[in-house]
Amino acid sequence: MQMVELETAGIVKRFGTLVANDGIDLSVARGEVHAVMGENGAGKSTLMSILYGMQAPDEGSILLRGQEVRFRSAVDAIDHGMGMVHQAFKLFNSLTVWENVVYGREPRRGPALDRRAAIAQVAALAERFRLSVDPTARVGDLSVGVRQRVEILKALYRDARILILDEPTAVLTPQERDGLFDVIRTLKADQRTILFVTHKLHEVMAITDSVTVLRQGRVTERIATRDTTPAEIIRAMTGRVVNLTVDRKPATPGAAVLDVQALTVGTGAKPVVDDLSFRLHAGEIVGIAGVAGNGQTELIEALTGLRRPDGGRVTLSGRDVTETDVEAHRAAGLAYVPEDRAVTGTARAASAADNLLMGYQRKAPFAEGLRLNAKAVAEHARRLIGRFGVKIADETVPVGTLSGGNLQKVVIARELTHQAPLLIAEQPTRGVDVGAIEFIHAELVAERDRGRAILLVSAELSEILALSDRILVMYEGRILADIPAGAADEDRLGLLMAGRTGQAA
Ligand SMILES: Nc1ncnc2c1ncn2[C@@H]1O[C@H](COP(=O)(O)OP(=O)(O)OP(=O)(O)O)[C@@H](O)[C@H]1O
Ligand SMILES: [Mg+2]
């Protein structure tokens, strides 16, 4: 009989009239990996922040190992053995790994900080839980995957018995995700308990022991993972059947919309983007596959005007935009869904209506001379909120309070409805629920069929394969292969992404 580590009874959390958590009962055994699933806005992050002491519930109770607890703050929760890795990491970039990990609980020798002991302790902890990281590295120099390990180390250093991971894999490459799963297995073997929030069903099936499904703030399913299926979980989340495959006809590409010639970013013997050329046509979706760090980020920065290339030429709808900024790119016909919705994608304090308008404000019917037509702006916003299923009270609400996936929908809605000939979409379905993925994929294909050229960057190979008409594999700053979608599968792409072009036998 497994011991119950964590229980909640009737947790209620309201924001004004909105009920984010509506009587949630949770029960998680010690040493279990427990998935928490639900559509965007279902109340997952709210529940996690209550369990971590960041907000107090309006009603209900939390029991740890059978004892009722009331957290007054996150520090209080940490003292009770709770740990949390937030989606937006809370580390000091200018400090080293060990400084971040021991911060506030430094080992001392007399009055002085014992640097040597701190480094040794962090190294030992990393070794024990298979979190390979150099304690003396500066956090700002580390990749996202390694920074996440530092966050986990920080929680373990404070002896977290229960670790909350809120969409930890959303920002990871497939390789980094496999590394995280190894860490989770090690934690489990040590009888630590994990709460794992994700939108990815294959991850739930692969790593979790049991799952709680939320829908509109209520529990609709609590089941052992081995006794359920992805289809059943989706039904509990959405109340309907979701089509996970994308229906699309073969593309009928037209004229070149984007022409990239000998593009180079960086100088020296090995530029990050290295003499790269390709064309993207109207009516086709071209996917970029590659292991993170092979120049994709810099390529997109150069194509969107965020960064001036060091060589080559970029032509957008017949205009040379090589040396111009983002605004000029937009004027020439670029719509752009950036990877980072919270920083570059949206203005948090501004309303949904303003965020949905960003970039269009000088166009009819929104502009009337120098003034904005408030009615047209509001109507436009309400239409997009409805069509994209953004969960929000109304269009005047600041987007800063939206759940992660709903914020992503705002960015997607704005950029998809631009009439720009070129759409560059980076991780377009990051953080959105399965129903929204189905919808966004269908919209992307519909835009393609209306003649738009779409450049898709995604860490999910399954998404690249489902949507692309052609796939460019990037390796060390170059395009290693340009393959029609019909000739690609995960195995072949995997080999190419590792730089192997030889006969894949
Ligand atoms: N501080 C807040 N003020 C107002 N509303 C809030 C606040 N925090 C959350 N909400 C609302 O509560 C609801 C639940 O949000 P929550 O972030 O818990 O959803 P989620 O299940 O984590 O969704 P996602 O999958 O998109 O991350 C949403 O409608 C959200 O807009
Ligand atoms: Mg969330």
| 429 Cβ inside 6 Å of ligand 1 | no
Q: Which pLDDT value is given to residue 1?
A: 58
- Greater pLDDT, 229 or 490: 229
| 237 Cβ inside 6 Å of ligand 1 | no
37, 399, 401: residue to mutate for ligand 1 pocket, most atoms within 8 A of CB: 401
Q: Give the number of the atom of ligand 1 that is nearest the alpha carbon of residue 13.
A: 12
Both tokens of 80, joined, read 């009770």
CA–centroid distance, 399 to ligand 2, in Å, is 14
Is pLDDT at 113 greater than 60 in this prediction?
A: yes
Q: Give the number of the atom of ligand 1 that is nearest the alpha carbon of residue 407.
A: 26
CA–centroid distance, 45 to ligand 1, in Å, is 7
Residue 263's beta-bridge partner residues? Answer: 276
**Tell me: the pLDDT tens digits for 422-435?**
999 999 998 899 98
| 421 Cβ inside 6 Å of ligand 1 | no
| 212 Cβ inside 6 Å of ligand 1 | no
| 46 Cβ inside 6 Å of ligand 1 | yes
| Burial annotation 23-36 (CB, 10 A radius, 16+ → b, else e) | ebebbbeebbbbbb
CA–centroid distance, 37 to ligand 2, in Å, is 10
Q: Give the number of the atom of ligand 1 that is nearest the alpha carbon of residue 397.
A: 4
**Tell me: the pLDDT tens digits for 409-419?**
999 999 998 78
| 198 Cβ inside 6 Å of ligand 1 | no
Q: CA–CA separation, 462 vs 339, rounded Å?
A: 18
26, 45, 220: residue to mutate for ligand 1 pocket, most atoms within 8 A of CB: 45
Do the strands 108-109 and 453-457 form a parallel or antiparallel pair, or are they unpaired? Answer: unpaired
Q: Which pLDDT value is given to residue 503?
A: 53
At the second CATH level, the architecture of 4-238 is 3-Layer(aba) Sandwich (3.40)
Instruction: Tell me which of 87-96, 319-328, 338-347, 481-490 is least confident.
Output: 338-347
Question: Is residue 135 very low, low, confident or very high in pLDDT (cuts 50, 70, 90)?
Answer: very high
Domain boundaries, the chain: 4-238, 256-333+420-497
Q: What average pLDDT does range 469-483 have in this prediction? A: 95
Do the strands 162-166 and 67-69 form a parallel or antiparallel pair, or are they unpaired? Answer: unpaired
Is pLDDT at 246 greater than 90 in this prediction?
A: no
DSSP H helical ranges for 158-272? 174-189, 201-207, 230-238
Do the strands 470-475 and 162-166 form a parallel or antiparallel pair, or are they unpaired? Answer: unpaired
Is pLDDT at 499 greater than 80 in this prediction?
A: yes
Question: Is residue 138 very low, low, confident or very high in pLDDT (cuts 50, 70, 90)?
Answer: very high
Q: Which pLDDT value is given to residue 213?
A: 97
52: DSSP letter: T
496: DSSP letter: H
| 217 Cβ inside 6 Å of ligand 1 | no
Per cent of the chain over pLDDT 90 is 72
84, 169, 403, 440: residue to mutate for ligand 1 pocket, most atoms within 8 A of CB: 403
Q: Which pLDDT value is given to residue 343?
A: 67
Give the closest residue (by CA) to ligand 1 atom 6.
Answer: 401
Q: Give the number of the atom of ligand 1 that is nearest the alpha carbon of residue 46.
A: 18
Q: Which pLDDT value is given to residue 505?
A: 40
**Tell me: the pLDDT tens digits for 450-469?**
999 999 998 888 899 999 99
| 40 Cβ inside 6 Å of ligand 1 | yes
Is pLDDT at 87 greater than 90 in this prediction?
A: no
| 21 Cβ inside 6 Å of ligand 1 | no
CA–centroid distance, 322 to ligand 2, in Å, is 38
Q: Do domains 4-238 and 256-333+420-497 have the same CATH topology?
A: yes
CA–centroid distance, 129 to ligand 2, in Å, is 26
Q: Which pLDDT value is given to residue 341?
A: 73
57 burial (CB, 10 Å; 0-12 / 13-18 / 19+) is buried
Q: What average pLDDT does range 76-102 have in this prediction? A: 91
| Burial annotation 85-104 (CB, 10 A radius, 16+ → b, else e) | bbbebebeeeebbbbbbbee
Is pLDDT at 487 greater than 60 in this prediction?
A: yes
Q: Which pLDDT value is given to residue 460?
A: 84
CA–centroid distance, 238 to ligand 2, in Å, is 16
CA–centroid distance, 202 to ligand 1, in Å, is 24
Question: Is residue 340 very low, low, confident or very high in pLDDT (cuts 50, 70, 90)?
Answer: confident
| 49 Cβ inside 6 Å of ligand 1 | no
Give the closest residue (by CA) to ligand 1 atom 1.
Answer: 401
345: DSSP letter: I
| 402 Cβ inside 6 Å of ligand 1 | yes
Is pLDDT at 206 greater than 70 in this prediction?
A: yes
Is pLDDT at 321 greater than 50 in this prediction?
A: yes
Q: CA–CA separation, 380 vs 352, rounded Å?
A: 11
CA–centroid distance, 41 to ligand 1, in Å, is 5
Q: Give the number of the atom of ligand 1 that is nearest the alpha carbon of residue 406.
A: 26
CA–centroid distance, 84 to ligand 2, in Å, is 13
Mean predicted lDDT score pLDDT of the chain: 92
Q: What average pLDDT does range 394-400 have in this prediction? A: 92
Is pLDDT at 371 greater than 90 in this prediction?
A: no
Question: Is residue 115 very low, low, confident or very high in pLDDT (cuts 50, 70, 90)?
Answer: very high
| 15 Cβ inside 6 Å of ligand 1 | yes
Question: Is residue 494 very low, low, confident or very high in pLDDT (cuts 50, 70, 90)?
Answer: confident
Q: Which pLDDT value is given to residue 240?
A: 83
Per cent of the chain over pLDDT 70 is 98
256-333+420-497: CATH number: 3.40.50.300
Q: What average pLDDT does range 96-100 have in this prediction? A: 95
343: DSSP letter: I
- Under a CB-based contact definition with an 8 Å cutoff, are residues 26 and 6 in contact? yes
Is pLDDT at 504 greater than 60 in this prediction?
A: no
| 45 Cβ inside 6 Å of ligand 1 | yes
Q: CA–CA separation, 91 vs 325, rounded Å?
A: 31
Both tokens of 159, joined, read 């002896």
Q: Which ligand is nearest to the CA of 38?
A: 1
**Tell me: the pLDDT tens digits for 13-47?**
999 989 999 999 999 999 999 999 999 999 999 99
